[in-house]
Amino acid sequence: MAIDEALLRSFDPVSSLPILRLYGWLRPSLSLGRFQKTDEVLDLERCLNAGVPVVRRITGGGVIYHADELTYSIVCSPGQIPPASSIKDSFRVLTGFLLDFYRGLGLDAEYALNVAPVGVRLGERTDFCFAGRESFDILINGRKIGGNAQRRQKSIIFQHGSIPLSNHVETGLSYMRKPFSGCEQGIVSLADCGVESGRDRLREAIVSAFSNSFAVELDKDELSPDERFEFNALKHNKYATDRWNLEGAGE
């Protein structure tokens, strides 16, 4: 999370190239949305006893349990992506590569907006990210896979999201204060869909889908000196503190 914010803080909308970052989690962790109140949504004692770290994201939305997944983040300016009619529509633009990625794996992936049954309400806020459905969430055979969140800042778009390799929703729900009865049936992972490819192959497929979707060529890179300076400061002064992770203070 510190690296994600460092990339955002260091990005110059005039001179910086767009960034795609792919990463994972060393151990199962919970991330809170920017504006969530920790003690209202999580059973912190259970998290502590299970040794599950809790971190706060710079984006909104509900709690995500990160276990066996690939995570992506994108940093760009609005002028560096195909036109979007609104901020909401930019989710369509910036998740288009995910549709291509899932379809390239042979999966029937669609936006919730296009396949939601008549009468189903989209956009309802939930404390647990995967329990809700936004218009441009991606569904596979009617079941939600992963989640995406976005933040805008000074002509910069930051977006990140999860691609679950296997299904740990039931475990994630066990750390919530309120029950979400039955939502497990509406959530899916790649393993549930019969995709058992290794991480390296899946990363390559994501990179290929991103390149084709945006008609760009990706180059591998490391953090710049400025990005690494920001990362180290954020890691120690913000993301290692309960003041930020649990209280949401210090931004």
For every one of its 251 residues, what pLDDT tens digit does the chain have, with 9 covering 90 and above? 999 999 999 999 999 999 999 999 999 999 999 999 999 999 999 999 999 999 999 999 999 999 999 999 999 999 999 999 898 999 999 999 999 999 999 999 999 999 876 666 787 778 998 888 889 999 999 999 999 999 999 899 999 999 999 999 999 999 999 887 778 888 999 999 999 889 999 999 999 999 999 999 999 999 999 999 999 999 999 999 999 999 999 87
The residue behind tokens 């006893």 is 49
List strands edge to edge, sheet with 143-144.
109-111, 138-140, 143-144
- Residue 32 has, within 13 A of its CA and on its CB side, a CA count of 26
Tokens of 42: 């999580």
Is residue 158, in this structure, part of any structural domain at all?
Answer: yes
* Amino acid at residue number 185: Q
Q: What domain count does the chain have?
A: 1
What's 36's domain CATH number?
3.30.930.10
| Residue 238 belongs to domain spanning | 2-244
Is residue 250, in this structure, part of any structural domain at all?
Answer: no
Length of the chain: 251
Q: State how beta strands 156-164 and 143-144 pair.
A: unpaired
**Contact present, 93 and 81 (Cβ < 8 Å):** yes
Closest CA to 66 of 129, 137, 151: 129
Is residue 148, in this structure, part of any structural domain at all?
Answer: yes
For 30, phi and psi rounded to 5 degrees?
A: -115, 135
Is residue 249, in this structure, part of any structural domain at all?
Answer: no
Helix axes 87-104, 199-214, angle to 10 degrees: 130
Tokens of 203: 């990363």
